[in-house]
Every structure is written in structure tokens, then in C-alpha cells.
Structure 1
Amino acid sequence: MAWSSLRRGQLAGLAAAVLFGISAPLISTVTGSGSALSIAGLLYGGATLALLTVRLFRDTEAETSVGRQDWPALAALTLLGGVVGPVALVMGLARLPAASSSLLLNLEAVFTLAIAVLLGREHLGRRGLLSAGLTIAAAVLLSEGSLSGANAGGSALIALATLAWGIDNNLSQSLSLRNPIQIATCKAAGASLPMLALALLLGHPFPALPVMLALLAIGALGYGISIWLDLLALRDLGAAREAVLFSTAPFVGALFSLVILREAFTPQLLVAAGLMAAGVLLLLLEQHSHWHRHDVLRHAHRHRHDPLGGDPHHEHRHQPEELEGVAADQPFWHAHEHCHGELEHAHPHVSDTHHRHRH
């Protein structure tokens, strides 16, 4: 894995967390203007519009499109992340105090990490585990760390929502070699259209037009662009490391509320900032490198070739049609089905799709 790909994934993950973190306090200012179902549908509707716009201006020819074999996983992550998660969250929020809900929402990072490491064969070393512990501890501190007033039913619903998102994150990682814009658009549209239709059929109240436009804008950035960037991070980092970076979203939201919405400063915010900064810095400085072996692997995805020597994982022969219109004497990106031969070497890497080996 090229070191530049690692940095690109880290920046994409942090940017996704920033956009999502800012969206949360903004949404909280308009929650009383409509039903939870109509608001969620509008947010994902804005996400769909943003992603369709990005597709108009971004070249997707050098990406592998979603195939028929990917539809079950895509349908599952859309159902879990776009429908089950939000509905369970809304039902749980109605039964729990705000502090308890905020604390339990940190289970998403825990579930994502556990599934990625235990089932997805991702490797997270001591430094990565320490980084995860620091960022999750900071998120717990920001959520006041109290389960006062919690009840079994509400807690179970919030846990169900976070489990759905944890599975969604890992399913998204498994599809991250496909066109991320296409995946994000299908997910956003698959979530928004049923929720909006259901809200209309059930006669749920919708916000006033100015608030609807604001929700579409918030959804465009905090859900649409954020989902796309998150998929790029999942591709380059794996689900475990992406979960650590995305755990910074609560801090971003708290800082935004402090600076922009003029909410009161709390000592917890300062301590959480230190913990989260330490956790992210540990992850950014992580250099996991050792001798490892690649088995034969055949798949299709976007990759880069450099005639002067580039990614050793993608030194393979091409059919003439695969290089049509490409200046083969210059570095270029393209996507096609290819086979990785056996390879043994040592270099810095993370648990992306090409590095799921034993340690």
C-alpha cells in the first residue's frame, strides 16, 4: 500500500468526521419542526442530491462499478445503516434522557472495531488499540458518562442502532473497492425515498420550506459528502482505523456548538480535546511494517500504475483493450479485473483489502 494512500485515507476519514460532527448540533436546532421520519428523509434526500451532483463532475471511468454479486451487501447496508439504525435511534431517543443516549451512541465505534478485528481479520496493534481507547474515552467524557434514567427498552434500541451502523461500516468496507460515489448514492437514495414516502403516507408533519432547505443542505454535507469520504477512508484504512478517526465526530460537534452556537464551555471539553488529540496523533504516526506474504487474489478495483516503479501489488500484464486511450509511459489510474500473484515483502501497511494476513 502506497504511503500516500494511507495519508489520503486518514484525511478523508477526518474530513468525514468533521462534516458529520458539525451536522449533529445543527440538526438539534430544528428537531421540533417536523417528525423524526420526515427530518431523516430530508437529510438523506439532501445527501442524494449532493452525491448525484458530485457524479456529474467527477470522472468515474477509473472505478469498478457495483456488480450483481454486490447487490445483497449493498441492500443490507442500506437497510441497516439507512433504515434500521435511524428508526431504532429515534425510538430509543424518545425513551431515554439525552445524556444516556449520547453515552450509548459510542457503542458504534466499539461494535465497528469488534466486528472488523474479530470477524473481518483486520489487525490493530497496541498503538492502534491505545488510540481507539483514548478517542472512545474522550467521546464518553463528552457524553457526560451517565446512564442515569436509562431503561432497558430504550438502551436496547440505541444498542440496536449502533450495532446496525457497526455492521453497515464493515459491509461498506467490503464494498469499498467498488465506485464509492455509486455506493453512497444508492445508500442515500435507498434510505431517503422510503422514509419520505412513509412520512407522507402516515401524514407526518414536514418542516416549513426554509427549514426543509436547511435540512437538505445539512444532509448534503453531513450525510452525502461525509458518506462518500468515509467510504474512501474505509478503502484505504480498513473499518477499524476508520472507526477510530470517525470517533472524533462528537468532539467536532461539541467544538462547533461552543464556537458557532455559543454554548457554554465545559471542563470536559478541554480534557476530551486532549484525549482525542493524543488518540488521533497516535494513529497518524502509526507505522506498521513487517515481512508478510500475499496469496493469489483475483478481483477488480481502481489502482495506479507507474512505469518508473510504483505499487508492487499491481505489477501485472494487461490486455490491449485495458490500455486503450492510456499513455502507458506516464503514471495512470484505471480499473479492471486482475490477478495478484504470490508476493513476499515488507513495507508500511494497514489492514486494507490487500493486507488481511496473520500476525
Structure 2
Amino acid sequence: MIRFHSSTGTFAALTAALLFGASTPFAKQLTGDISPILLAGLLYLGSGIGLGITKLVRDKNLRSGLLRNEWGWLVGAIIFGGIIAPILLMLGLTQTGAASASLLLNLESVLTALFAWIFFKEHTDRRIIFGMLLIVAGGMLLSLTKHASVEGWIGSISIATACLCWAIDNNLTRKISSSDSVFIAGSKGLISGIINISLAFAIGLTFPAWSTINYALLIGFLGYGVSLVLFVLALRHLGTARTGAYFSTAPFVGAAIVIVFFHEPTSIVFWIAASFMGIGVWIHLTEYHDHTHTHERLLHSHYHAHDAHHQHSHDFSWDKDKPHTHPHQHEAVTHSHHHYPDIHHRHKHK
């Protein structure tokens, strides 16, 4: 029997997809006025500034909550996902139509899942693999429509490589997803924005009008900043491959916007590719995972309420109905319920 997911992680992932998907066609409108490197820098700077202010207002400090051995994962995520990937995406957008570019971004979910399965040993099954194959088929069809020109190929390859970098970023970010999502996304945005803008200055690029800059910063805050915060929360609850599957709905949002509001023409191949991708996404959205599993003893820290997985004692006073953050230990337990490969369910499967 097919059942649809219903969880905090699902809502976070789909909302992240909505925000990021909507940002792509609007960023595309700026590619004629701003160089790809500078545009990538402004988008991430908008994310960093907006989330930095959010954290200061919320927490009155900029503490990360990261452990010493987790900083390396964040640095790697910033390099691949915050510096290399957005530059490649903006280069791709200058050579590719916005609707096609939006659907090509579905490759990110496929590559994210492959990295999660092969290198990080996250569980998968035939249903998820079949859905990924349909998404890949749609992406290949979409790329083949660009064979008539070298520029079309360059655009498709640039976007596909950006997806590869984001896939690496997603898997590295999963390693620290139990930490403060606002700090993770904000620091990535601020550092990536400063580096990309510095590169733009180094090669002699000049800033556009302030109205264009402000527009780019706003797109970055919503489409890259708030979206990434929600994406990190989804990683915490769903795991990497499942979050990537939900996030793969983002390109459909972008494609719908450019078709409806910007009147970009489409072709029969475009709709066939969209159908393949849509079926693949639907298969992922309806995946259900339930079996007897064992939780090993675990010590970590994250924002939580007391539920079936959090029945520990405290050495401080607390409101039993209020979520809170502190280091806590999980004792070994075996039980059965519907679950995802979240921060509490990274067990092996037969």
C-alpha cells in the first residue's frame, strides 16, 4: 500500500524546494545585467546577511554549536556548494533557457542520492533507484535538445557540474545537520558571497545599479538563505537521499514560473522530459520504510522534544513540554516504526 510522508522534514524540504525553485527564473532575469561570478556572490551575500541578522535577533549571539571535528565538513560544503556550484549555475543560465535549466537542476537529487548511497552508506531500495533512473532519463532528454549548438552543450554541462558540486555539499552538510541550521546556512552564504564578490573585483568587474544589487540580495536571502535553512532541517529529519528527492520538485516550480509568467516557449521533448521527472519524483514522495531496527548507544546534541527516542534525564530544571537543546545520550533500543535515515536512524540493513 502506498502512503505519503507527513512530517516536519517533508514540509521543510518541500518549502525549501519552493523557494529555491522560484529563485532560478528570477536570477535568470539578472544574467544579462550582472556577470555570473558577481551574481553568485550577491545571491549568497544576501543569504549570509539576512540569516546573520536573523540569528542575532533570535539568539543575541553568533555561536555555531558545531563540535571541533565538524568544522571540516562545513568548510567543504562552503567550497563545493557556496563557491563553485553557484558560479557554474550562473554560467549555465547565460547559455540555457530558464525552463530547461530548472528541470536540469533535478540532476542534483540524483547525484546527491548516489553520493549518499555509495560513499556515506545511506540505505536505499529498488523503488528509490527506479525513481532516480526516471529523473536521469528526463535530464538526458532535456540535454539532447541542446545538441545543435556548442553553447547549449556548455550551458547543460555547467548546470550538471553545479549539481554535482551541490550533491557533494548536501552530503557534507548532512554530517552537521543536527547543529544550528541558521548558522550553517548563514556562514555558508556570508563566506561564499564575500569570496565570489572578491573574485569579481579581482578580474575587473564593476557593480551594477543599487536597485539591481538589492534585487539580487533579496532573491539570495529567500531562495538561497531561507531555503538552505529548511534544507538542513530536512536533512536532519529525512536523510540525504530522501531530502534530495523532495527537493527535486524545485525545478518544476521554476519551470512553471517561466512558462506562465515569462512566456518561454516549450517543445514536445520538454514535456516528455518533465513527465519522466515528475513520475520519478512521485515515486520518491510515496516511498514508505518500516521495519524492526536497533538504535545503537549514541551521544549527541540537537534541538529536540521528549518523544519515543528522547527519554533521558536532566541535571537541570526544564519544562517537559518545551523543546530544548543540550548534549544527551540515547541508550540502545530495538523497536519497529515508520522512519527515515535521519540523525537517529543511520542503522544498517540486511
TM-score (norm 1): 0.84
- The Cα offsets for residues 305-343 of structure 1, whole Å up to 9 and x where unpaired, read as 1xxxx32x21112212xx3xx223xx2211111221111
**Aligned-pair CA distance for 1:43:** 0.8
**Aligned-pair CA distance for 1:288:** 0.7
**Aligned-pair CA distance for 1:221:** 0.9
Q: Which residues in structure 2 correspond to 1:44-63 (within 5 Å)?
A: 44-56=44-56, 58=58
Find the aligned partners of 1:138 and 1:36 in 2 and give their Cα distance: 26
1:303 aligns with: 304
Q: 1:357 aligned to 2:347?
A: yes
Find the aligned partners of 1:177 and 1:148 in 2 and give their Cα distance: 46
Q: 1:318 aligned to 2:314?
A: yes
1:334 aligns with: 324
Find the aligned partners of 1:110 and 1:176 in 2 and give their Cα distance: 20
Find the aligned partners of 2:295 and 2:277 in 1 and give their Cα distance: 34
User: What is the SS of the residue equivalent to 2:205?
Assistant: coil
- The Cα offsets for residues 19-66 of structure 1, whole Å up to 9 and x where unpaired, read as 1111111111121212222111111111112212432454699x9812
Find the aligned partners of 1:37 and 1:154 in 2 and give their Cα distance: 15
Find the aligned partners of 1:5 and 1:105 in 2 and give their Cα distance: 23
**Aligned-pair CA distance for 1:197:** 2.3
Find the aligned partners of 1:337 and 1:159 in 2 and give their Cα distance: 39
Moved more, 209-218 or 283-292: 283-292
Find the aligned partners of 2:96 and 2:180 in 1 and give their Cα distance: 40
Find the aligned partners of 2:341 and 2:149 in 1 and give their Cα distance: 40
Q: Which residues in structure 2 correspond to 1:5-154 (within 5 Å)?
A: 7-56=7-56, 58=58, 65-89=65-89, 102=101, 106-141=106-141, 146-149=146-149
Find the aligned partners of 2:254 and 2:88 in 1 and give their Cα distance: 22
Residue identity matched to 2:319: A
Asked if 2 retains the 8 angstrom alpha-carbon contact of 1:97 and 1:150, the reply is no
Find the aligned partners of 2:238 and 2:38 in 1 and give their Cα distance: 34
- Call closer, same or farther: CA 1:277–1:158 in 2, change over 3 Å: closer
Asked if 2 retains the 8 angstrom alpha-carbon contact of 1:64 and 1:177, the reply is no
Identity of aligned residues (%): 39
Residue identity matched to 2:191: G
Find the aligned partners of 2:186 and 2:126 in 1 and give their Cα distance: 36
Q: Which residues in structure 2 correspond to 1:197-346 (within 5 Å)?
A: 197-264=198-265, 266-268=267-269, 270-271=271-272, 274-305=275-306, 310-311=307-308, 313-320=309-316, 323=317, 326-328=318-320, 331-346=321-336
Aligned Cα root-mean-square deviation (Å): 3.2
Asked if 1 retains the 8 angstrom alpha-carbon contact of 2:128 and 2:287, the reply is yes
**Aligned-pair CA distance for 1:138:** 4.3
Q: Which residues in structure 2 correspond to 1:161-180 (within 5 Å)?
A: 161-180=162-181
Find the aligned partners of 2:177 and 2:92 in 1 and give their Cα distance: 30
- Call closer, same or farther: CA 1:248–1:54 in 2, change over 3 Å: same
Residue identity matched to 1:162: C
Q: How many residues align?
A: 343
Moved more, 257-266 or 132-141: 132-141
- The Cα offsets for residues 189-239 of structure 1, whole Å up to 9 and x where unpaired, read as 110011222322432022222111111111111111111111111111111
Find the aligned partners of 2:190 and 2:107 in 1 and give their Cα distance: 26
- Call closer, same or farther: CA 1:156–1:120 in 2, change over 3 Å: same
Find the aligned partners of 1:148 and 1:162 in 2 and give their Cα distance: 23
- The Cα offsets for residues 107-128 of structure 1, whole Å up to 9 and x where unpaired, read as 4333211111122221122332
User: What is the SS of the residue equivalent to 2:292?
Assistant: strand
- Call closer, same or farther: CA 1:258–1:5 in 2, change over 3 Å: closer
